[in-house]
């Protein structure tokens, strides 16, 4: 529990101590009402004498409130008894259940040998700080620790930890974090997708009922709900109130929103627990991943701004300049050959690449994707001297060296699968379907865990790896161990493995990749340094994928590479200018056989890398906004630094414009009283555009007040699909 902070008096009548500072007792009942405040957000929580805490408000900060104000707030929210309903008013608690009177999806579901649990909770203890609240509630045979932490960015992390305090086992099938949202919410946004098309938004009116999205892929998934948001009707990139939830978890999940006729809407999320998956022995506990709740009154960009600020405040957030990456995958695939890779490294270093990552294909038996996974030793047929020649070469060129792994997977054609069939995550008496020719290793098996830790750790040490690209290329189905569903334990074990490797090898960076972007969540990001957003390097597809990945993650965490001229995943051609402009807004890299480039292509790549290296300080710390362009065929993305002295704006066109005159390009977030020099980023090519003569300022630059840039904007050229204009705005001294 938190350090108790003295504050409100504990009512004499109350059987349990409630220790808190930022709260007051409601005079008429003496029941404490606590306020968490941070980053312009307030969460007001009422602790009743009987039952679980109830959130009275989650949203805009309400300022300093007195005890009388809080009591008034509670009275104002007191609900009448509806017609044809329970005879008494009932509370919408932090873990709503039938005993409360809640008839939507319960927050908690458990049984003991088929006998359903309907706990009668009472708060036993609570401790609060201005930014956090911890509550222990008890019921017969159960104890529940609820933890709410509101950070300076206004992001609330909510956990439940349930303990079985009875003498017999408890089968837990649901424990979810939920919060009520404003009943003015009228629209829903969440996400779906598939391989090479991750995080596609879906928008719909809020309908009545308990609506549940389950993910049962054993990983976060290409089609993950990602962020579930309820907003006021018409909420947009920059306007409207929005309440959102994300589950910091890489296993199966439930995202839910409930709009029942008799209650305020709820949103929430929790781990998806299959029958028999979590059985708590006497004394055992289960802790949920964090439900990450964000409110904004400036649309989805407001959500993103809070989330980015919150992530950037983490102690382990990557703060060193994000190095330019060369990843070998689309350059050579499985054709590992020292001469070829050494010349790739030479070319990479010559244009300013800073990190060379050897992708799939280096380990025993891995000549294609049908064999080898699990055998984490270097293939001596291909690499007779181990990886030292390439690692030394890369280092001698001044670059970092990174290596690809897919630790959780095993090919049937591998020494590991032959030696340890009992380590596979599948029913013992029957095989499961393969996916990319592979099975899953049960990382929760202690021997499998130790094997991976030792094998990977040895390679990290031997080659002094700076970076691991940690891949995961299949969904988990029938992920059963000893007859029990095992996704949850497996996912926790993967987290432990990542944590151990990072602890054992300080400075090692890890990328979360899963068939592209199928494992992007704040659980894996607690132990990794960036994500691979997608396997598509087609810039048109990437613009859409990155645009919404940016809702959760700041640019420095999103791997974004310049691919070959014709994208391998879509067969669509794109200019190098456009590919550079797309990769610039992320943790940039290259994934292309650049030994085949012409001198002018190399020159252009060098210039693009120079632009990235010059601007990454701004791109990776600034505030990100997505402007409404008034044009379905174009997107405008801007990053402004903290003191608003400079900004970078990218206008990118993916489809033709509906009008011959492009809409004005407006740049929000600048100092309205500052004057800004506006000019194309000098290292990048200005696109030709479709106008017979381009807007004159493009050649000369322009100086404009921030207020004019925000409200009037500048006339951009009419870009052709597949063109991007990247501008730099610098405040005049
Ligand atoms: C899937 C990843 O997303 C790719 O980038 C690449 O690493 C391949 N796996 C290698 O098998």
Q: pLDDT tens for residues 376-391?
A: 999 999 999 999 999 9
Tens digits of residue pLDDT in 670-680: 999 999 999 99
Distance, in Å, from the CA atom of 235 to the CA atom of 187, rounded to the nearest integer, reads 8
Q: Which residue's alpha carbon is at the smallest distance from atom 11 of ligand 1?
A: 360
β-strand partners of 161: 145, 287
pLDDT in the model for residue 8: 25
Q: Which residue's alpha carbon is at the smallest distance from atom 9 of ligand 1?
A: 515
Of the candidate ranges 27-41, 67-81, 706-720, the one whose mean pLDDT is the lowest = 27-41
Q: How far is the CA of 356 from the centre of ligand 1 (A)?
A: 15
Distance, in Å, from the CA atom of 223 to the CA atom of 25, rounded to the nearest integer, reads 45
Which tokens belong to 551? 């809702």
Average confidence (pLDDT) over 286-314: 98
Tens digits of residue pLDDT in 402-448: 999 999 999 999 999 999 999 999 987 777 899 999 999 999 999 99
Examine the pLDDT at 14 and tell me if it is beyond 90: no
Q: How far is the CA of 439 from the centre of ligand 1 (A)?
A: 16
Calculate Rg over the CA atoms of the chain.
Answer: 27
Examine the pLDDT at 6 and tell me if it is beyond 60: no
pLDDT in the model for residue 338: 98
Spatial contact of 267 and 178, defined as CB atoms under 8 Å apart: yes
Place of tokens 């610039």: 584
Spatial contact of 638 and 713, defined as CB atoms under 8 Å apart: no
Average confidence (pLDDT) over 583-592: 98
Tens digits of residue pLDDT in 199-223: 999 999 999 999 999 999 999 999 9
Q: How confident is the model at residue 306 (pLDDT cuts 50, 70, 90)?
A: very high
Supply the CATH classification number for the domain 627-731.
2.60.40.1180
Tens digits of residue pLDDT in 95-134: 999 999 999 999 999 999 999 999 999 999 999 998 999 9
Tell me how crowded residue 29 is: count the other CB atoms within 10 A of its CB.
Answer: 16
Q: How far is the CA of 590 from the centre of ligand 1 (A)?
A: 14
HSE-CB for 458 with a 13 A CA cutoff = 9
pLDDT in the model for residue 16: 39
Strand, helix or coil for residue 637:
strand
pTM to 2 decimal places: 0.96
Strand, helix or coil for residue 462:
helix
CA 114 to chain centre: 37
Distance, in Å, from the CA atom of 525 to the CA atom of 507, rounded to the nearest integer, reads 16
Spatial contact of 384 and 336, defined as CB atoms under 8 Å apart: no
Percent of the chain with pLDDT over 90: 93
The CATH number for 97-312, chosen from 2.70.98.60, 2.60.34.10, 3.90.1150.10, 2.40.170.20, is 2.70.98.60
Average confidence (pLDDT) over 455-467: 98
Domain ranges of the chain: 97-312, 325-618, 627-731
Q: How far is the CA of 422 from the centre of ligand 1 (A)?
A: 27
β-strand partners of 170: 280
Tens digits of residue pLDDT in 226-250: 999 999 999 999 999 999 999 999 9
The pairing of strands 132-139 and 142-150 is antiparallel
Q: Which residue's alpha carbon is at the smallest distance from atom 2 of ligand 1?
A: 515
Spatial contact of 374 and 414, defined as CB atoms under 8 Å apart: yes
What average pLDDT does the chain have? 94
Which tokens belong to 283? 């004394």
Active site residue 471: yes
Distance, in Å, from the CA atom of 2 to the CA atom of 4, rounded to the nearest integer, reads 6
Please enumerate in sequence order all residues whose Cβ is within 8 A of that of 323, keeping only pairs 6 or more positions apart, or say none.
354, 355, 400
Active site residue 369: no
Please enumerate in sequence order all residues whose Cβ is within 8 A of that of 386, keeping only pairs 6 or more positions apart, or say none.
378, 380, 462
Sign of the torsion formed by the C-alpha atoms of 560, 297, 176 and 53: positive
Distance, in Å, from the CA atom of 127 to the CA atom of 32, rounded to the nearest integer, reads 11
H or E stretch covering 245: strand 242-247
Spatial contact of 271 and 487, defined as CB atoms under 8 Å apart: no
Which tokens belong to 172? 């837990």
Q: Which of 190, 360, 375, 535 is catalytic?
A: 535
Percent of the chain with pLDDT over 70: 96
The pairing of strands 32-38 and 41-46 is antiparallel
pLDDT in the model for residue 1: 36
Examine the pLDDT at 10 and tell me if it is beyond 60: no
Tell me how crowded residue 705 is: count the other CB atoms within 10 A of its CB.
Answer: 16
Examine the pLDDT at 29 and tell me if it is beyond 70: no
Ligand 1: residues within 6 Å at CB? 329, 359-360, 404, 471, 473, 513, 515-516, 532, 535
Tens digits of residue pLDDT in 468-519: 999 999 999 999 999 999 999 999 999 999 999 999 999 999 999 999 999 9
pLDDT in the model for residue 490: 98
pLDDT in the model for residue 58: 98
Distance, in Å, from the CA atom of 604 to the CA atom of 577, rounded to the nearest integer, reads 8
Supply the CATH classification number for the domain 325-618.
3.20.20.70
Q: How confident is the model at residue 7 (pLDDT cuts 50, 70, 90)?
A: very low
């Amino acid at each position: 529990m938190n350090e108790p902070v003295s504050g409100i008096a504990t009512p004499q009548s109350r059987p349990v101590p409630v220790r808190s500072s930022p709260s007051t007792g409601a005079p008429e009942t003496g029941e404490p009402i606590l306020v968490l405040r941070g980053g312009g957000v307030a969460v007001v929580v009422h602790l009743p004498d009987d039952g679980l805490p109830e959130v009275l408000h989650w949203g805009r900060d309400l300022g300093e409130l007195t005890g009388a104000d809080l009591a008034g707030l509670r009275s104002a929210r007191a609900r009448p008894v509806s017609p044809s309903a329970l005879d008494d008013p009932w509370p919408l608690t932090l873990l709503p259940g039938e005993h409360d009177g809640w008839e939507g999806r319960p927050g908690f579901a458990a049984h003991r040998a088929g006998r359903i649990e309907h706990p009668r909770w009472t708060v036993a203890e609570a401790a609060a700080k201005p930014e956090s609240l911890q509550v222990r509630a008890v019921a017969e045979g159960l104890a529940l620790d609820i933890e709410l932490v509101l950070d300076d960015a206004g992001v609330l992390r909510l956990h439940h930890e349930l303990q079985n305090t009875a003498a017999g086992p408890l089968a837990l099938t649901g424990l979810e974090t939920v919060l009520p949202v404003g009943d003015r919410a009228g629209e829903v946004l969440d996400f779906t997708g598939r391989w090479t098309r991750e995080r596609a938004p879906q928008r719909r009116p809020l309908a009545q009922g308990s609506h549940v999205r389950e993910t049962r892929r054993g990983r976060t998934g290409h089609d993950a709900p990602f962020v579930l948001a309820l907003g006021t009707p018409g909420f947009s990139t920059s306007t409207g109130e929005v309440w959102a939830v994300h589950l910091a978890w890489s296993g199966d999940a439930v995202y839910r929103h409930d709009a029942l006729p008799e209650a305020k809407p709820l949103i929430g999320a929790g781990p998806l627990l299959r029958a028999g998956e979590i059985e708590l022995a006497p004394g055992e506990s289960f802790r949920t991943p964090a439900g990450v709740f964000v409110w904004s009154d400036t649309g989805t960009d407001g959500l993103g701004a809070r989330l980015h600020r919150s992530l950037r405040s983490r102690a382990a957030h990557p703060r060193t300049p994000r190095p330019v990456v060369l990843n070998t995958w689309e350059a050579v695939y499985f054709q590992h050959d020292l001469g070829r890779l050494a010349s790739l490294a030479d070319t990479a270093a010559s244009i300013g690449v800073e990190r060379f990552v050897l992708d799939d294909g280096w380990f025993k038996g891995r000549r294609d994707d049908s064999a080898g996974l699990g055998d984490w030793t270097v293939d001596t047929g291909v690499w007779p001297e181990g990886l030292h020649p390439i690692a030394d070469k890369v280092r001698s060129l001044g670059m970092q060296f990174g290596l690809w792994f897919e630790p959780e997977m095993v090919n049937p054609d591998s020494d590991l699968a032959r030696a340890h069939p009992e380590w596979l995550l599948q029913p013992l008496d029957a095989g499961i379907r393969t996916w990319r020719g592979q099975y899953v290793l049960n990382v929760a098996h202690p021997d499998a865990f130790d094997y991976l830790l030792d094998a990977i750790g040895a390679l990290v040490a031997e080659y002094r790896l700076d970076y691991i690209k940690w891949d995961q290329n299949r969904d988990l189905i029938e992920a059963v161990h000893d007859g029990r569903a095992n996704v949850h334990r497996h996912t926790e074990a993967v987290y432990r493995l990542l944590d151990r490797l990072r602890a054992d090898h300080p400075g090692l960076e890890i990328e979360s990749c899963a068939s592209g972007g199928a494992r992007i969540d704040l659980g894996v990001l607690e132990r990794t340094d960036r994500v691979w957003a997608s396997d598509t390097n087609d810039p048109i597809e990437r613009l859409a994928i990155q645009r919404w990945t940016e809702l959760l993650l700041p640019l420095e965490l999103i791997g974004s590479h310049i691919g070959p001229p014709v994208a391998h995943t879509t067969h669509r051609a794109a200019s190098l200018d456009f590919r550079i402009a797309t990769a610039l807004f992320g943790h940039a890299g290259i994934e292309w056989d650049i030994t085949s480039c012409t001198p002018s292509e190399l020159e252009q790549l060098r210039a693009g890398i120079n632009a990235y290296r010059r601007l990454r300080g701004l791109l990776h710390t600034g505030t990100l906004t997505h402007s409404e362009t008034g044009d379905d065929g174009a997107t405008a993305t801007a990053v402004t630094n903290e003191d608003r002295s400079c900004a970078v704006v990218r206008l990118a066109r993916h489809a033709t414009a509906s009008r011959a005159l492009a809409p004005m390009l407006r740049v929000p977030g600048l100092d309205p009283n500052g004057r800004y020099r506006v000019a194309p980023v000098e290292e990048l090519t200005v696109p030709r555009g479709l106008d017979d003569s381009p807007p004159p300022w493009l050649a000369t630059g322009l100086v404009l007040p921030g207020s004019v840039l925000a409200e009037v904007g500048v006339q951009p050229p009419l870009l052709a699909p597949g063109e991007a204009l990247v501008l730099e705005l610098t405040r005049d001294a």
